[in-house]
Amino acid sequence: MEDVELCDVRSFWGNQHVGFSVLRAVGAAGGVLVMWNSNSFQLISSSSGEFSVTYILQMFDGSFTWAFIGVYGPQARVDKLKMLEELGRVRDSWPGPWCVGGDFNEILYPFEGSSGVCPSNTMTEFRNFINQRALMDLPLEGG
């Protein structure tokens, strides 16, 4: 994994207290933007994979350290499986609390899709990954 690009927040947001980093898109896909309150958290380290960026953030008082993984999921089944393997490796390398967020380009249940149908086994594989890694799917409502 290589380091992700850290940006100067003042030039983009006009706010001295927003930290953020990007994993640039390739063409029209794959970009990830992660932001944090730099008054509360300090960035300890960051790295990127093919489908994700990982940030180790710590409260300034040192009371809490955690990992946030930002994801942009691929479309092809073979790449979706590679993404789940990548996320598993990240989890295996970080023993503390973690949060994963982003666009997985996957659903857990057929009713979540626009057509109500999922044409491959990736839905089940994604659900198994979430269960095996003790993740919680936060429900989204609306667009």
- CATH of residue 14's domain is 3.60.10.10
Phi, psi of 63 (to 5 degrees): -75, -20
Report yes or no on whether pTM surpasses 0.85: no
Alpha-carbon span 74 to 88, nearest angstrom: 16
Q: Is residue 143 part of a domain?
A: no
8 A C-beta contact, residue 53 and residue 4: yes
Report pLDDT digits (tens) over 53-104: 899 999 989 999 999 999 998 888 899 999 999 999 999 999 999 999 988 9
Structure tokens at 110: 């057929």
How many domains does the chain contain in total?
1
Q: Is residue 98 part of a domain?
A: yes
Report pLDDT digits (tens) over 96-113: 999 999 889 888 877 777
Torsion of CA 79, 81, 85, 90, to 10 degrees: 60
